[in-house]
Amino acid sequence: MRVKSFKTVLGDWLFVIFCVIVGLMCILPMINLAAKSLSASEYLVRHEVYLLPKGINVNAYSTVLGDAKYIKSFFWTVFLTVVCTFVSLTMTSLCAYPLIYDKLKGKNVINILITITMFFNAGLIPNYLLMQSLGLLNTPLVLIIPSCLSIYNMIIMRSFFYGIPDSLRESAEIDGASHFKIFLSVYLPLSKPVFATLALFYAVGRWNGYTDALMYITDREMYPLQLLLYNILNNINSVEVQTQEGFSTPGLTESLKDAVVMFSTIPILLVYPWLQKYFIAGTTLGAVKE
């Protein structure tokens, strides 16, 4: 049995301590947020709530869950997240798969043009004018099409495809399989880890996204949940916005703000445990070979 040296043991403990500190930095704010959302207002006013709720009060959650505006926005965001994730995975795989073929004409030029888009873009105003000229403003497509393909994620998927043995593809080609048949029968079944990883990336990005809706959507019926939350928190002291959002009290309570944040955060957090196994495999295997 090999005995670890003192430096190795010390390094391991320092790494463990570092991971614990980072983990606490991530989870403690969420615990504090949850505690404040379940606490009575008088304790929040006195700033006495830290990690445990005081004076258990679920009125904030009752207000959120009882308001049709939040529920409708929640299901609308779920729909957008599912559709955007499916479309993005389809576009990403269809872009990455042809680029693994060395015989693809213009492959180097295509790779250069694709890479350039990672560093340069037209800017906010040209993008808005483009969406306007295409007639996409105030439509669901404006939240789906512009962000349906991430070049960074495409490179991850392409790298993963490179790691699949060429012999599998060549044997399918000998049997007369077409490119789509090879992709569906060979690459797709072997790519579950990278698909799950990128699905998580795309889903989290769409769920947390609000800037595109802020720029392109003016119809309040199409506001995703994060934009609704943004409007509430950004205009917390505005009587006009309070009236529009359905609040008759002079100001939003701290517990209600925290409850809205928890309401919009918990669903996407529940997705991660189901994809954790594939997430770890996808992020490591996707960078093995380029």
Instruction: Give residue-wise pLDDT tens across range 147-180.
Output: 888 888 899 888 888 888 888 888 888 888 888 8
Share of the chain above pLDDT 70, in %: 86
Per-residue pLDDT for 227 more than 60? yes
Instruction: Give me the pLDDT at residue 164, please.
Output: 85
For residues 16-22, average pLDDT = 92
Compute the distance between CA of residue 145 and CA of residue 155 in angstroms, rounded to an integer: 19
- Where residue 210 sits, what CATH number does that domain have? 1.10.3720.10
The per-residue pLDDT of the chain, averaged, comes to 80
DSSP class of 78: H
Tell whether 257 is covered by a domain.
Answer: yes
Judge if 228 and 161 occupy the same domain.
yes
Judge if 40 and 68 occupy the same domain.
no
Residue-range definition of the domain harbouring residue 23: 6-45
Tell whether 160 is covered by a domain.
Answer: yes
DSSP class of 249: S
Tell whether 1 is covered by a domain.
Answer: no
Judge if 25 and 86 occupy the same domain.
no
Higher pLDDT, 253 or 26: 26
Judge if 147 and 34 occupy the same domain.
no
Higher pLDDT, 283 or 215: 215
Instruction: Give me the pLDDT at residue 84, please.
Output: 93
Tell whether 116 is covered by a domain.
Answer: yes
Judge if 131 and 200 occupy the same domain.
yes
Tell whether 290 is covered by a domain.
Answer: no
For residues 228-245, average pLDDT = 59
**Matching residue, tokens 């010390």:** 10
Tell whether 51 is covered by a domain.
Answer: no
Judge if 19 and 93 occupy the same domain.
no
Per-residue pLDDT for 272 more than 70? yes
Contact 73, 225 (CB under 8 A): yes
Tell whether 118 is covered by a domain.
Answer: yes
Judge if 38 and 68 occupy the same domain.
no
Judge if 20 and 125 occupy the same domain.
no
**Spacing of C-alpha 57 from chain mean position:** 31
Judge if 20 and 74 occupy the same domain.
no
Judge if 22 and 137 occupy the same domain.
no
Looking at the 3D structure of the chain, how many domains does it have?
Answer: 2
For residues 277-282, average pLDDT = 60
Judge if 113 and 250 occupy the same domain.
yes
Sign of CA dihedral 26, 29, 31, 34: negative
Judge if 10 and 113 occupy the same domain.
no
Long-range contacts of 128-133 (CB under 8 A, 24+ apart): 128/215, 128/216, 131/216
For residues 6-25, average pLDDT = 86
DSSP class of 3: P
Instruction: Give me the pLDDT at residue 29, please.
Output: 86
